Amino acid sequence: MAENRPTILLIEDEAEIRRFVRVALTAENYRVVESSDGRRGAIDAGTHKPDLAIVDLGLPDIDGIDVIRRLREWSPMPIIVLSARVQERAKIEALDSGADDYVTKPFGIGELLARVRAALRHVVRTRSGTTVLKLGAAIVDLEVRHASRDGVDIRMTPLEFRLLAVLAKHAGMVVTHRQLLTQVWGPTHATDTHYLRIYMKQLRDKFEADPIRPRHFVTETGVGYRLLVDE
Amino acid sequence: MFDTRRFLTGNLRHACVPLRMARRWRWHGYAWAVAAAASCTLIGVAMQPRFDVVNIAMVYLLAVVVIALRFARGPAVTASVLCVAAFDFMFVPPRGRLSVDDVQYLLTFAIMLAIALIISRLVESDRRQASEQAALEVAAETERIRSALLASVSHDLRTPLAVMAGASSSLAETGERLTSVERSALATSIFDQAREMSEHVAKILQMTRLEIGAISADRDWTALSEIVGSVLRRLAERMARHRIIVDVPEDLPLVRVDATLIEQALGNLLENCARHTPAETVVRVRAQRQQSEIVVTVEDYAGGLSDAELERVFAKFSRGTVEGGGTDIGLGLAICRAIVRLHGGRAWAERVSGGGSAFKFTLPLELPPDIPPEPVD
């Protein structure tokens, strides 16, 4: 019988961490494939064709970032990285190299499960081809480039719209400053973070009930932003 | 009169400076020796019409004493030799020559040299004692900090470890006989304690890294409103029992800071207020522009600090009274201050009139680059 449980590849060298992550994921009805190093993990990814990969950044043999690059050569599956607090730069590099999200060690399992669920939901949403987002009381239709709240149009500049569209493409997951800047303003503006700050404020002013405590346009300090949409 | 003590304590700092500076200081001494001999000669010339030669010798003697007190033996000897030579050349007959008619003057020279040597020797031994004393004080202070660290580490890490060991062994050994409510209570307390301990360890590491200069500010343009937003999101659970008021003006300029570090600094201030004030009280977060800087304030309206505490709270391992449960390792405000200083700002605490404390820090303001305006669709 073909299994329709989602398969998760866990590449992590610490056996103790693998153990509790496996127990929790299995309890949530995921199938778990474990690899204790990067090379093994890259091979396991090819044989098991997982729906999602969890990659530790501190692997003993090859760099976690290399693993992500190898996976990204052929697979669009969501990748979540596990990083230690001191690996701030490596974390951003991993995200820029194609990882979709991160969890910082030490983490509670609830946090990891939430990330896994969001990433898999994102895959479903992308496959279904839906272009309509719900942000609180506001509705955005990306295809017809239209946003409204209670029937009243929310007017956006072309750049505001493009920024929203890039965030929406990765809804629920982290998009780095660099990714947003290159995809919205172009590669020559990859480090013009002040553009992002100003435009993010404009988007929040238009969509958030309390722009200081955003519920949708969430700041990932030092890393980037995350768009949380209502289901 | 010269206050020898003050001279010595003044020199204490120089006794401890690195070699390169000490060497520069020494050359400084020689320069002063030359300058002293030259000025005495000028004074001597001015005095000459009305004063006896012996009094002029006294002026030179005074200069030698001062140089010997203020500097090391080298400059003192130099000063005495230069003074003797200048005195001999200018004022002792036959003038304009380095020879002496009256043998009595040789005694004057010898006394001057002897005074220079005796004084510089006295000063040196006193100085050495003072620097030894200072070294002892530094060692004692280091020892005090180290034992405070050990005491704090052992308490703050042992307590959660004891809870974790006890609770987890109960789960492992008697788990089957426990109700599911009891099991989950034990597991939750292990999780909470582990998280608390992990934060303590992170703070100790962070403080150490800040102190040894292993952390540099990775600056970029940042909106303070975003930092406030993400701190409140991160601390939502811990601040849930307090009423938080945010006051950040719409038009506050961007700041160029390391957002992760400043988030931490602000978070530490908020956690500190949450920890030391009762539930249901107000905590206000405010950011204002004041001239060429931005002032960030976290204010509470309960209790308040004494004059001594206002400064002491920023010291490492300073603990106040903690409301409710939880421990405080006493590093939050010290880390906050270190981070703010790294950015060229200041961090301090004030009393709020009517009861309460305001914790403030400044960030320097730079002009952000312009952004081309864009019309709406």
Cβ-nearest to B221 among A108, A156, A194: A194
- Report how far residue B257's alpha carbon sits from residue B345's, in angstroms, rounded to the nearest whole number: 11
A69: domain CATH number is 3.40.50.2300
What pTM was estimated for this model as a whole? 0.74
Asked if residue A155 belongs to a domain, the reply is yes
A116 and A32, same domain (yes or no): yes
Arithmetic mean of pLDDT over chain B:
84
Find out whether B326 and B199 touch, Cβ atoms under 8 Å.
Answer: no
**Cα Rg of chain A (Å, integer):** 18
pLDDT digits (tens, 9 = 90+) for A40-78: 999 999 999 999 999 999 898 888 999 999 999 999 999
A218 and A152, same domain (yes or no): yes
For chain B, the residue count is 377
The pLDDT-based confidence of B321 (bands split at 50, 70, 90) is low
CA distances from B43 to A145, B329, B371 (A): 91, 64, 68
Residues of chain B neighbouring A211 (CB-CB closer than 8 A):
225
User: What value, to the nearest 5°, has the Cα angle with vertex A20 and ends A14 and A21?
Assistant: 85
pLDDT digits (tens, 9 = 90+) for A192-219: 999 999 999 999 999 999 999 999 999 9
A148 and A170, same domain (yes or no): yes
Q: Which residues of B98-126 are buried (b: 16+ CB within 10 A; e: fewer)?
A: eeeeeeebeebbeebbebbbebbeebeee
A35 and A99, same domain (yes or no): yes
* Continuous H helices in chain B: 4-16, 19-47, 53-70, 73-91, 104-174, 180-211, 224-234, 259-276, 307-312, 332-342
User: What value, to the nearest 5°, has the Cα angle with vertex A114 and ends B226 and B161?
Assistant: 90
The strand pairing partners of A9, in sequence order, are: A33, A53
- Report how far residue A146's alpha carbon sits from residue A141's, in angstroms, rounded to the nearest whole number: 5
Q: Are strands A174-176 and A217-220 parallel, antiparallel or unpaired?
A: unpaired
pLDDT digits (tens, 9 = 90+) for B124-172: 888 888 888 888 888 887 787 777 767 767 777 888 889 899 999 999 9
pLDDT digits (tens, 9 = 90+) for B35-49: 888 888 888 888 888
Q: Are strands A52-56 and A7-11 parallel, antiparallel or unpaired?
A: parallel
The pLDDT-based confidence of B288 (bands split at 50, 70, 90) is very high
The pLDDT-based confidence of B17 (bands split at 50, 70, 90) is very low
Q: Can you point out the beta strands (E) in A94-145?
A: 101-105, 132-135, 138-141
Nearest residue in B to A105, CA atom: B198
B314 and B198, same domain (yes or no): no
pLDDT of residue B152: 67
First to last CA, chain B: 82
- Report how far residue B72's alpha carbon sits from residue B29's, in angstroms, rounded to the nearest whole number: 7
User: What value, to the nearest 5°, has the Cα angle with vertex B225 and ends A174 and B243?
Assistant: 105
Is B374 in CB contact (< 8 Å) with chain A?
yes
Print the domain residue range for A42: 7-126
pLDDT below 70 — which residues of chain A?
A: 1-3
The pLDDT-based confidence of B325 (bands split at 50, 70, 90) is low
- Report how far residue A7's alpha carbon sits from residue B109's, in angstroms, rounded to the nearest whole number: 98
Order of all β-strands in the sheet with A146-149: A132-135, A138-141, A146-149, A152-153
Of A104, A126, A148, the position where a domain reaches its end is A126
A96 and A176, same domain (yes or no): no
- Report how far residue A165's alpha carbon sits from residue A168's, in angstroms, rounded to the nearest whole number: 5
**3-class secondary structure, A225:** strand
pLDDT of residue B376: 67
Of B130-134, B230-234, B250-254, the one with minimum mean pLDDT is B130-134
Q: Cis ω on the peptide bond leading into residue A187 (within 30° of 0)? A: no
Q: Tokens 């909470």 belong to which residue?
A: B192
pLDDT greater than 90 at residue B16: no
pLDDT digits (tens, 9 = 90+) for B174-230: 878 889 999 999 999 999 899 888 888 888 889 889 988 888 999 999 999 999 999
Task: Name B134's Cβ contacts closer than 8 Å, sequence gap at least 6.
Answer: B12, B15, B16
pLDDT greater than 60 at residue B5: no
pLDDT higher at B340 or B93: B340
- Report how far residue B291's alpha carbon sits from residue B364's, in angstroms, rounded to the nearest whole number: 10
pLDDT greater than 80 at residue B18: no
State phi, psi for B159 to the nearest 5 degrees: -60, -55
Print the domain residue range for B125: 4-139
CB neighbour class for A17 (10 Å; exposed up to 12, middle 13-18, buried from 19): middle
Mean pLDDT of B245-254: 94
Of B78, B107, B139, the position where a domain reaches its end is B139
Is B236 in CB contact (< 8 Å) with chain A?
no
Do B222 and A193 lie within an 8 Å CB cutoff? Answer: yes
**Cα Rg of chain B (Å, integer):** 33
A73 and A172, same domain (yes or no): no
CA atoms within a 13 Å half-sphere pointing along the CA-CB vector of B278: 3
Is B225 in CB contact (< 8 Å) with chain A?
yes
Nearest residue in B to A215, CA atom: B233
The strand pairing partners of A105, in sequence order, are: A84
pLDDT of residue A185: 95
pLDDT higher at B262 or B37: B262
Of B194, B211, B228, the position where a domain reaches its end is B211
Of A102, A126, A150, the position where a domain reaches its end is A126
Q: Which residues of A touch B (CB under 8 A)?
A: 85, 88, 106, 108, 145, 155-159, 161, 177, 191-195, 197-198, 200-201, 211-214, 218-222
pLDDT of residue B112: 78
Closest C-alpha among A91, A123, A129 to residue A107? A91
Asked if residue B369 belongs to a domain, the reply is no
The pLDDT-based confidence of B9 (bands split at 50, 70, 90) is very low
A36 and A108, same domain (yes or no): yes
pLDDT of residue B326: 57
Share of chain A above pLDDT 90, in %: 85
A111 and A141, same domain (yes or no): no
A182 and A120, same domain (yes or no): no
Cβ-nearest to A197 among B202, B222, B230: B222
Residues of chain A neighbouring B376 (CB-CB closer than 8 A):
155-157
A57 and A103, same domain (yes or no): yes
pLDDT greater than 50 at residue B4: no
pLDDT of residue B14: 41
Asked if residue B252 belongs to a domain, the reply is yes
pLDDT of residue B363: 97
Nearest residue in A to B261, CA atom: A222
- Report the number of distinct structural domains present in chain A: 2
pLDDT of residue B141: 79
Is B235 in CB contact (< 8 Å) with chain A?
no
Nearest residue in A to B230, CA atom: A219
Q: Tokens 């127990």 belong to which residue?
A: A23
pLDDT of residue B7: 40
Do A212 and B246 lie within an 8 Å CB cutoff? Answer: yes
A14 and A122, same domain (yes or no): yes
A64 and A106, same domain (yes or no): yes
Q: Tokens 């669009």 belong to which residue?
A: A76
Closest C-alpha among B296, A29, A46, A3 to residue A11? A46
pLDDT digits (tens, 9 = 90+) for B38-85: 888 888 888 888 888 878 888 888 888 888 888 877 888 888 888 888
Do B374 and A214 lie within an 8 Å CB cutoff? Answer: no
Asked if residue B374 belongs to a domain, the reply is no
Which residue type sits at A20? F
B235 and B188, same domain (yes or no): no
Is B248 in CB contact (< 8 Å) with chain A?
yes
Of A126, A144, A161, the position where a domain reaches its end is A126
- Report how far residue B17's alpha carbon sits from residue A117's, in angstroms, rounded to the nearest whole number: 59
B253 and B194, same domain (yes or no): no
pLDDT of residue B80: 83
Mean pLDDT of B302-312: 84
Mean pLDDT of B284-296: 95
Q: Which residues of B282-315 are buried (b: 16+ CB within 10 A; e: fewer)?
A: ebbbbbeeeeebbbbbbbbbbebbeeeebeebbe
pLDDT of residue B351: 92
Find out whether A113 and A121 touch, Cβ atoms under 8 Å.
Answer: no
- Report how far residue B314's alpha carbon sits from residue B185's, in angstroms, rounded to the nearest whole number: 36
B159 and B272, same domain (yes or no): no
